[in-house]
């Protein structure tokens, strides 16, 4: 790729993603064009393209893509979480050497399989890693593997061996040429239809000496959970932001013909913009917090961080649903009727996933347990010292 700035690269990708967004949603197909554009611009694995991206940069990309195509944004967010997890699987010198290989310079797409069929529990696995005759193998009936058939590698959780407890897990990097996927169910979601989040039976076989794996507990709590909640929040905000822009365009056009007739709608619009400002402020605060967080964090700091990102996820997901509801109320029939340029049907369907993937109730339950372990503290001398 060339030396394009992030803004230039994003503009190119966003144009492609937006061009095919309706088709991706209608046909529930993978957004090949947008992902290829991300690959061409070196945005899938920025490190391998000699692009030094911060957490804030990834948040910006997720937000921009969310305004163009929610499925593309979701895929990018999930991929970036897995990229961060892969970095933690390897010692730093090995990771840097890996990035220089031709396989990584081709900008591979990473997916994940972290829950079993019939379970949404990230920290519990039914399947186990089996070591036999120098081979490492595992078999997992996954409840969902988003874009599994398009991924170049899948990060899979499993029990460390057949005798281990369900919570004794490892995260394993499985190249696509070392596994098979047997589809057991087809994705037919209300929204995010282009993520192709099918149900699979995954079978993997690797030589023991080449298996890249590590204990899942620290990676889950220190990388996967916080990055997931933050990047997904940016995606949801992007969806809501595009809905708000469409609403603004409709109100401006209507006001040219009837200024008095749009007064009440503009008041509602002002209120939803205030909600969006509070959501964005929270995303910025958490982004800043995670960029400052030491690695690995001490137990108390880790507990505070988990509560912080849990609250971010539940708050942003709830507010973004409300914001899009308000956008439809402001737009009236223009936002409701399909076929209009200001129609918000796809936004409404895509945003519904936010409160159930992962369930806000489950996250709130987890946070309530963690709150019993620490006392509330607020400090204006040290930023973001949260309860």
DSSP-based three-state secondary structure for 182 = strand
Do 265 and 335 lie in one domain? The reply is: yes
Closest of 67, 69, 72 to residue 22, by C-alpha: 69
CB count within 10 Å of CB 268 equals: 15
Question: What is the β-pairing status of strands 153-159 and 110-113?
Answer: parallel
Do 92 and 148 lie in one domain? The reply is: no
The pLDDT score that the predictor gives to residue 1 is 42
378 within domain boundaries = no
Do 247 and 344 lie in one domain? The reply is: yes
Sign of the alpha-carbon dihedral angle for 286, 345, 67, 221:
positive
Do 267 and 228 lie in one domain? The reply is: yes
Whole-structure pTM value = 0.94
Number of domains in the chain: 3
Do 317 and 352 lie in one domain? The reply is: yes
The pLDDT score that the predictor gives to residue 378 is 57
Do 262 and 245 lie in one domain? The reply is: yes
**Tell me, what CATH number does 229's domain have?**
1.20.140.10
The range of the structural domain enclosing residue 18 comes to 6-105
165 within domain boundaries = yes
The pLDDT score that the predictor gives to residue 377 is 65
Residue numbers of the chain with a pLDDT score lower than 50: 1-3, 380-381, 384-387
pLDDT tens, 111-127?
A: 999 988 767 788 889 99
387 within domain boundaries = no
CA-CA distance, 364 to 360, in Å (whole number)? 6
Do 240 and 303 lie in one domain? The reply is: yes
Do 254 and 355 lie in one domain? The reply is: yes
Do 221 and 364 lie in one domain? The reply is: yes
pLDDT tens, 153-211?
A: 999 999 999 999 999 999 999 999 999 999 999 999 999 999 999 999 999 999 888 78
CA-CA distance, 152 to 243, in Å (whole number)? 33
The pLDDT score that the predictor gives to residue 379 is 54
The pLDDT score that the predictor gives to residue 84 is 97
Structure tokens of 44? 């899938």
Do 224 and 360 lie in one domain? The reply is: yes
Do 221 and 205 lie in one domain? The reply is: no
Closest of 32, 31, 195 to residue 111, by C-alpha: 195
Sign of the alpha-carbon dihedral angle for 40, 42, 45, 50:
positive
Cβ-count burial 190-208 (b if 16+ within 10 Å, e if not): ebbbbbbbbbbebebebee
**Tell me, what CATH number does 56's domain have?**
1.10.540.10
Cβ atoms of residues 246 and 344 within 8 Å: yes
Residues whose CB falls within 8 Å of the CB of residue 237, separated by 6 or more in sequence, listed in order: 63, 66, 276, 279, 280, 283, 316, 320
Do 22 and 166 lie in one domain? The reply is: no
161 within domain boundaries = yes
């Amino acid at each position: 790729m060339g030396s394009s700035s992030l803004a230039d690269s994003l503009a190119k990708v966003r144009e492609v993603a937006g061009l095919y967004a309706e088709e991706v949603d209608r046909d529930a197909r993978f957004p090949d064009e947008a992902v290829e554009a991300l690959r061409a611009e070196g945005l899938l694995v920025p490190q391998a393209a000699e692009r030094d991206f911060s957490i804030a940069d990834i948040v910006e990309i997720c937000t921009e893509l969310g305004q163009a195509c929610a499925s593309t944004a979701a895929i990018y967010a999930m991929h970036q979480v897995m990229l961060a997890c892969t970095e933690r699987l390897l010692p730093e010198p090995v990771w840097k050497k890996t990035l220089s290989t031709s396989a990584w310079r081709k900008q591979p797409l990473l997916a994940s399989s972290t829950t079993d069929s019939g379970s949404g529990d990230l920290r519990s696995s039914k399947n186990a890693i089996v070591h036999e005759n120098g081979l490492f193998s595992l078999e997992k009936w996954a409840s969902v593997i988003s874009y599994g058939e398009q991924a170049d590698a899948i990060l899979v959780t499993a029990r460390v061996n057949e005798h281990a407890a369900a919570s004794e897990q490892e995260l394993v990097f499985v190249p696509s040429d070392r596994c098979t996927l047997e589809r057991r169910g087809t994705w037919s979601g209300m929204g995010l239809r282009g993520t192709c989040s099918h149900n699979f039976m995954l079978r993997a076989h690797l030589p023991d000496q080449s298996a890249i794996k590590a204990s899942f507990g620290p990676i889950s709590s220190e990388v996967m959970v916080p990055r997931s909640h933050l990047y997904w929040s940016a995606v949801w905000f992007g969806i809501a932001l595009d809905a708000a822009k469409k609403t603004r365009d409709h109100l401006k056009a209507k006001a040219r013909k009837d200024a008095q007739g749009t007064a009440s709608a503009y008041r509602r619009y002002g209120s939803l913009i205030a909600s969006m400002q509070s959501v964005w402020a929270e995303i910025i605060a958490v982004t800043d917090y995670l960029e400052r967080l030491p690695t690995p964090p001490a137990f108390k700091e880790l507990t505070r961080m988990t509560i912080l990102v849990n609250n971010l996820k539940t708050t942003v997901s709830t507010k973004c649903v409300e914001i899009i509801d308000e956008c439809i109320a402001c737009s009236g029939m223009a936002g409701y009727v399909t076929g209009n340029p200001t129609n918000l049907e796809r936004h409404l369907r895509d945003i519904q996933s936010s409160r159930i993937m992962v369930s806000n109730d489950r996250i709130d339950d987890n946070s309530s347990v963690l709150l019993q372990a620490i006392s509330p503290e607020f400090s204006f001398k040290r930023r973001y010292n949260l309860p």
